[in-house]
Amino acid sequence: MKSKLTTMLLIIILIIGVGLIFVNPIQNKLIALNSQALLQEEIIVADTVKEASFDFNEVQSINFADVLEAQLSKKQFAVIGAIAIPSVDLELPIGKGVSEAVILYGAGTMKPDQQLGQGNYALASHYIEGKDILFGPLYNVELGDAILISDASHLYEYTITVKEVILDSDVQVIYDVPGQTLLTLITCAEQGTKRLLVQGELAKITEI
């Protein structure tokens, strides 16, 4: 009897161990697939989205439970645009706000009334260490790279001018700067204790 219990316990431990090995790949695959699926959605005007959260400090590290929960609430992600950085193969949908339902599958706007091509347009998303999903590719960008942002009517091209790790308290980086038209991208750095900042200046606007 004792031998059978030991065997069953070993089998359970083995199953749990195998499950843990595959959780992260499954999680990352779900994120990537849903990001790509949302890119096919029709872009809507940002002002039509009424409900949104803008507190990036409430964002927690990704876990599998969050991914599954977001999978059930994907309809909360209203696509208001798309971001692409060709040099690092980054392409994501943009949603309004930085709720988990938004930044688990794309980039979220950090201020309620920001507008593309005006002031400082700020976006945030998750970073999964060593993975080229969400804002992970930002770690590979270089100064001078182009960032392309589209909404329902225009394509905005920004040129990267800043890439640096900042304190999580440096919230002023998303504020408007008089005389400058900026794009600011924010993601986690150093296990969430700091932030990676990538910033670009508007180069041109093209009507779609």
Out of 70, 126, 158, 174, the active site residue is: 126
Closest by CA position to 4, among listed 34, 12, 39, 171: 12
Beta strands in 78-135 (DSSP E): 81-85, 90-95, 107-109, 120-124
Non-local CB neighbours of 63 within 8 Å, separated by 6+ positions: none
Cα distances (Å, whole numbers) of residue 6 to 9, 16, 17, 18, 20: 5, 15, 16, 18, 21
Q: What is the spatial distance between Cα 197 and Cα 124, in angstroms, rounded to a whole number?
A: 10
For the question of residue 56 being annotated catalytic, the response is no
Q: How far apart are CA 6 and CA 37, in angstroms?
A: 46
For this structure, is 188 an active site residue?
yes
Catalytic, out of 92, 188, 189, 196: 188
**Which are the catalytic amino acids?**
126, 188
